[in-house]
Amino acid sequence: MDERLKSLQEAILAIDEASAVEVTELLLKAEVPPQEILEEGMTAALLELGRRWNCGEAFLPEVVAAAAIFEKCSAIVEPALMAQTEKKVSHRYVGATVKGDLHDLGKNIVGAMMKTVGLEVHDLGKNVPTEEIVEAVRELEPKIIGLSALLTTTMPEQEAVIKALEEAGLRDGVKVIVGGAPVTQEWADKIGADGYAPNAPEAVKVALALTEAAA
């Protein structure tokens, strides 16, 4: 692993915002691909923090502070991400973190990556009620929606959205991709989602495959 990506991880884990911002800018200047900065630097740091939290080695205030630094670094990386990718498709994508769930960093990264391939992204935010997602599908008529869930207790909301789309007669017109740390392919199959991805680059691949299949 690039030592500079490692120092970005360390700065986030040490809750050192100034260093994290500085290293992110240096990495971009050094033309390290923005996807690598996002995945191997920033996301890896939060995953490590999650592990520490699990073992009682980290506490909520640290997680909140690290998440804020992550967002600062994302704002720096996102324009580079947008600039370097060639646009391929132009369909509408609606993204949301499901009801009861306040985790939105992953959803934001997925949305940013979807934009880089030319998808028109509508971000409904976090803790989004099922009815609001159904309404957005009715109004915006997206080709794809992406549902993030980071808690085992909110995963069932992904299923609730799929059921609500069926009941509203909207399910046939839209592909549903699910993701989030506890979500698996098995879960996606069980709830009748069209796609699952473990990370943002894979989510883009799945979205492209689904839009091609639907075209």
The footprint of ligand B1M on this chain (CB under 6 A) covers a number of residues equal to 37
Instruction: CB nearer to ligand B1M: give 23 or 183.
Output: 183
Q: Helices H, strands E: what count in the chain? A: 10, 5
DSSP SS3 for 173: helix
Site map 34..53 versus ligand B1M, x via CB under 6 A? ---------x--xx-xx--x
d(CA 143, CA 118): 13
Minimum Å gap between C-beta 169 and ligand B1M is 23
Minimum Å gap between C-beta 132 and ligand B1M is 16
Query: Which residues contact residue 204 at a Cβ distance below 8 angstroms, ignoring those fewer than 6 apart?
Result: 110, 113, 114, 116, 117
Do residues 94 and 122 make contact, with C-beta atoms less than 8 angstroms apart?
A: yes
Do residues 111 and 82 make contact, with C-beta atoms less than 8 angstroms apart?
A: no
Distances (CA, A) of 158 to 41, 107, 151, 177, 183: 29, 14, 11, 9, 10
199 is an interface residue for ligand B1M by CB under 6 A = yes
Binding region for ligand B1M (CB under 6 A) out of 2-10, 20-28, 149-157, 167-175: 149-157
Distances (CA, A) of 129 to 5, 146, 154, 163, 188: 37, 14, 11, 13, 20
Minimum Å gap between C-beta 7 and ligand B1M is 19
27 is an interface residue for ligand B1M by CB under 6 A = no
Binding region for ligand B1M (CB under 6 A) out of 15-23, 63-71, 116-124, 162-170: 63-71
Binding region for ligand B1M (CB under 6 A) out of 15-23, 81-89, 101-109, 130-138: 101-109
- The residues that touch ligand B1M, with contacts defined as CB under 6 A, are 43, 46-47, 49-50, 53-54, 60, 63-64, 67, 100-107, 109-110, 146-148, 150-152, 177-182, 197, 199-200, 203
